[in-house]
Structure 1
Amino acid sequence: MMNMLLVVICGGFVLFLAARTYPFIISRVFEPDDSRPTPATEFADENDYVASPSAVVFAHHFASIAGAGPIIGPIIALAYGWGPAWIWIVIGGIFYGAVHDMSAMFVSLREGGKTIAEVARRTLGTSGCVLFLLLLLIVISVVNAIFLKMSASALQSAYPLEALGLGDAQTLLRTRTEGGVVKGIIGGIATTSVIVMTIAAPVLGWLIHRKRVRTGRVFMAAGIIGVGGVVLGFFMPVSLSMNAWTWTLIVYLFFASWLPVWLIIQPRDFMNVQVLYGGVLLLVAGTIVAGMSGDGGGSSAMQIPFSRMMEGSQEKGPIWPIMFITIACGAISGFHSLVATGTTIKQIGRESDCRRIGYNAMIFESFLALLVLTAVASQMPFSEYQRTVEHAGGWILTFAIGCGRLFANLGIPLAIGSVLGILIIEGFLVTTLDTSIRLTRYLVEELSAQVFGEPKAATSPSRTIARRIVSTLVAIGLMMIFVLSPQAEKALWPFFGAGNQLIGALTLTTVSVWLLQRGKRAWFTLIPAAGMVVTAIAALMYIVHQKYAGDADNRIVLICAGGVLLMLAMGFVIVATLRMWAAVRRSAKAT
């Protein structure tokens, strides 16, 4: 059995080498120049366009893109063995995901901070833009629904004391009994942490953007608040029901969507990302210590098989395309283009930050996916993994147990390590959800502009705020269609994976057309675009036909949404292909 440290070192080295070379090569096409003003400085409005320090923007971007995907995706993909998942995470992250994120950000930069949908309008015309907007709204509404369900579930979560390495006499966690099983309430700890950071967010935002406090001091303050909220949660956990948390989160999302980005979302992400950075450091440290034990067994070796392609294909679906869309954000995520061109580009103060943030944040996320893959595959025999992952809340519990056993190598008690694992994934969930709703608001406003025309430039501030509030209500309403339909998270995840990769494929297609129309090289986006278009459409067809059709009464919403997505995608590809062909012909005539 292969040593876990070797698995991480090999993957990490390849990712690091790629980050130091590949983006510098392909970014030359976009000709970054730090002397030019960025959209954040040119259109500064102290609401959406807010130029910020690179570290603050990276924190917002990483916290927003690194949701549940790089944790849950690799865990599910272990059904195919750790080898195929490892290969796709590394190759996909370098040549697909990071290229997708960086190129979308650069194109948005060149188009004045416009979203990828608006870039599609300028590149593919109104028809291409409307097709893209409708597709984006369906997929992001599913993303919002699944993250809302998972966030509400996680914030009131309870797990068997035995699985957390605790006895009935423990005093670390509050407990409740379900079905005769005593469970420790972990969600209350995260609840306290979320409340503390949300209350502190406006203060931190004021320090960053009104008092211009140095980044180092802000880092320190954010770290103290973030860690302090977690510690306080152990002593003062707040317990709410899942239904109460669902509606509480909806109220929070309503305000976070239209209030200035510097007031809630950005500082909250900056605080929460300190906890997430700490979680990644713990995963790295645990991997090093466990791997250095070098005994070839136990916690130092990969216990899940290298390959289970045949068995996994029978259990989850064919390795292609299902494994590729299951890993999701660990390799490529279309959602990232919405963040990159929706909120991140409006905060970037230097053009070169598009390369640093766009490419490197995705590489960091792929590295996180590798750490998760290794932690679970090395700490759990396959039989235990299979038992645990199939239970309700099994994805999160599998990660928690893997973290607990890995962190035990650092001298952290198993119970506390497992709790920390759950807090890590809960942190990723909530920071993605608020940004996602804000992005949905942008998409609603863009679709409205296409259908009803652009609002007058001289619109009063009160009318502008009213328009944002109405768009927010529409965004929340679209999310609630999927929240209120009888879909469990495990039914939504494959749809999310296929739809998410479809957005990535169409984003790469849009960028490719944009480059070709300007006579620039586009091979680095065209190749992954072609691969992902075929993969995403094949996956969506398989999921709708094989997984949902047999339970049509309970899956009717997803079946209809899947059918609409397929039609929109086909139409978009036809429009993009015609535009590409026209651009190539013009280029050929010019030479």
Structure 2
Amino acid sequence: MISFILSLAALILGYFFYGRFVERVFGPDDRETPAVSKKDGLDYIALPGWKVYTIQFLNIAGTGPIFGGIMGAKFGPVAYLWIVLGCIFAGAVHDYLNGMLSMRNGGAGMPELIGKYLGDKTRKVMLLLTVFPLVIAGTVFVYSPAVILHTLGGDVMMWVAIIFVYYVIATMTPIDKIIGKVYPLFAISLLLTAGALMVMLFVKMPQLPEIWSNLHNMGASANPGKFTDHIFPALFITIACGAISGFHGTQTPMMARCLASERMGRRVFYGAMITEGVVALVCATVSMWFFYAGPPGYEQISGAKDGFFTSAPMVVHLVCNDWLGVVGAVLAVLGVVAAPISSGDTAFRSGRLIVADWLKIDQRPIRNRLYICVPMFATSIAILVWQIKVPDGFNTIWQYFGFFNQTLSVFTLWAITVYLVQERKNFWVSLIPALFMTTVCTTYFFVSRQTLHLPDCIGYPLGLTCLAVACVWFTVWYRKVRRGG
């Protein structure tokens, strides 16, 4: 528990100190924002700051910090380090600067921003790399809440159909009609769930493995030959939304179109990411008890028949019911079901906006929205059918989502770095995370079972080679810019 308490304190301090430092690096001012200058009653609408914060939090949260924290906890307390350091120095920086850059560019989406700073060819690649993961995200965020709702009654596919109907409505309607009214309630539900579990942690004060004595891969030690993932890079792909997530870069422009002042940016963008880090920290700690507290937590809960390999949705269901009783069951439904559904609808909404910006399609006529939404939903349904039919389909889809997710963050961080260099600002705040995530994603691509699956003796040196290439590329480019400036 000491590691949890120190990590929680670090996240809070990170918001007040490093968050303020990053804010000074960017330098928000009183210029007119897109919510005012481009108001259209559909996507560009000035909303109260507290409402934008709750929507942003729910947009980026979803099942990410919950399931990511649960699956990341299988590695042991090393997950704490990634959640804390990744959230403060990478994820929150990524979200804040991406959101502020979008505001400075008229509410531009991720492909447009990346194209502006990394070139038109990169912008074209980013269209595919952005929209496809959004469709995958929407698909993941359909199935996981349907599984939990199924435990309360009804068929899984019935719940899938109901959620899809909601997605269509929320994606098509003005942002203040459904999302602006429902999301604050969903956000409160998720925060209540995390808060209740945090209270129970302090009530129970379980004996948990601590960072200083368990930095090795505890999953591999406890399950020889069965849990084979390496801490690097698997942990940094598994815990994405609770530390840094490229998916967030697709969501922040939506809220950049709803902020009435740039000075609200740190609270909304940096603050929402820190809040998500807290949720991931709580979920990881509860899961650490479930997997490792002696005797193992799953042995103390009726129905945890799969032990260490209990699925993430089932861990949520079992622990909430065991620790919180009937109240826990209700909170699990409201928080852990509402969160992914809310991220799913904004995933599709972001996809609609990105495609519309790319093709220059006016979104005010309903038929124009349908031209984009129908193909997206059809693709999502096809992926969902595949996910259900393939053994372990959910985990497979999640790993692909994680890889694409973190790859998006790499492009965004490099675009932010180019902007900071061009503006003669402190570029180290984004350069270091950019280099680190470049190494994570390239190494994962080389060694993962889901991709090339090269031997470690080949894959890891290739990952380091990519890091060296990135360093050389940046150094050459930076010197060229300085000479030209």
TM-score, structure 2 normalization: 0.86
Distance 1:546 1:121, change over 3 A: closer
Q: Is the 8 A contact 2:55 2:183 kept in 1?
A: yes
1: CA distance, partners of 2:165 / 2:97: 34
Q: Is the 8 A contact 2:46 2:260 kept in 1?
A: yes
Q: Which amino acid aligns with 2:69?
A: P
Among candidates 235, 244, 253, match of residue 323 of structure 1: 235
1: CA distance, partners of 2:369 / 2:146: 25
Pair 1:475-2:383 in alignment: no
Pair 1:510-2:415 in alignment: yes
1: CA distance, partners of 2:424 / 2:59: 33
Deviations 1:549-576 (CA, angstroms, capped at 9, x unpaired): 9xxxxxxxxxxxxxxxxxxxx99x9999
Distance 1:100 1:48, change over 3 A: same
Give 1:327 shift: 1.2
Q: Is the 8 A contact 1:510 1:576 kept in 2?
A: no
Q: Is the 8 A contact 1:445 1:471 kept in 2?
A: yes
Q: Is the 8 A contact 1:124 1:579 kept in 2?
A: no
Report the more deviating stretch, 481-490 or 108-117. Answer: 481-490
Q: Is the 8 A contact 2:36 2:260 kept in 1?
A: yes
Q: Which amino acid aligns with 1:330?
A: G
Give 1:62 shift: 0.6
Match of 1:312 in 2: 220
Match of 1:339 in 2: 251
Q: Is the 8 A contact 2:44 2:258 kept in 1?
A: yes
Report the more deviating stretch, 10-19 or 132-141. Answer: 132-141
Gaps of at least 5 residues in structure 2 are 455-464
Pair 1:280-2:194 in alignment: yes
Q: Is the 8 A contact 1:400 1:420 kept in 2?
A: no
Distance 1:331 1:29, change over 3 A: same
Match of 1:567 in 2: none
Match of 2:7 in 1: 11
Pair 1:31-2:23 in alignment: no
Give 1:445 shift: 2.1
Distance 1:376 1:579, change over 3 A: closer
Q: Which amino acid aligns with 1:542?
A: V
TM-score, structure 1 normalization: 0.71
Instruction: Give the secondary structure class of the aligned counterpart of 2:433.
Output: helix
Q: Which amino acid aligns with 2:256?
A: I
1: CA distance, partners of 2:73 / 2:191: 24
2: CA distance, partners of 1:360 / 1:31: 17
Match of 2:38 in 1: 43
Among candidates 210, 231, 253, match of residue 167 of structure 2: 253
Distance 1:578 1:347, change over 3 A: same
Q: Which amino acid aligns with 1:332?
A: I
Give 1:533 shift: 1.3
Gaps of at least 5 residues in structure 1 are 159-185, 189-238, 292-299, 408-413, 550-569
1: CA distance, partners of 2:129 / 2:266: 27
Pair 1:445-2:362 in alignment: no
Pair 1:139-2:133 in alignment: yes
Deviations 1:118-145 (CA, angstroms, capped at 9, x unpaired): 1122222321101111111222222122
Instruction: Give the secondary structure class of the aligned counterpart of 2:262.
Output: coil
Distance 1:392 1:7, change over 3 A: closer
Pair 1:435-2:346 in alignment: yes
Match of 2:437 in 1: 532
Q: Which amino acid aligns with 1:76?
A: M
Give 1:254 shift: 1.8
Deviations 1:400-424 (CA, angstroms, capped at 9, x unpaired): 33334444xxxxxx35435533542
Instruction: Give the secondary structure class of the aligned counterpart of 2:119.
Output: helix
Among candidates 201, 207, 224, match of residue 301 of structure 1: 207
Match of 1:396 in 2: 313
1: CA distance, partners of 2:423 / 2:382: 41
Among candidates 403, 408, 412, match of residue 498 of structure 1: 403
- For the pair shown, which has the larger CA radius of gyration, 1 or 2? 1
Match of 2:276 in 1: 365
Instruction: Give the secondary structure class of the aligned counterpart of 2:241.
Output: helix
Q: Is the 8 A contact 1:151 1:426 kept in 2?
A: yes
2: CA distance, partners of 1:277 / 1:460: 33
Pair 1:242-2:156 in alignment: yes
Deviations 1:86-107 (CA, angstroms, capped at 9, x unpaired): 1111111111111111010111
Match of 1:154 in 2: 148
Identity %: 27
RMSD: 3.0
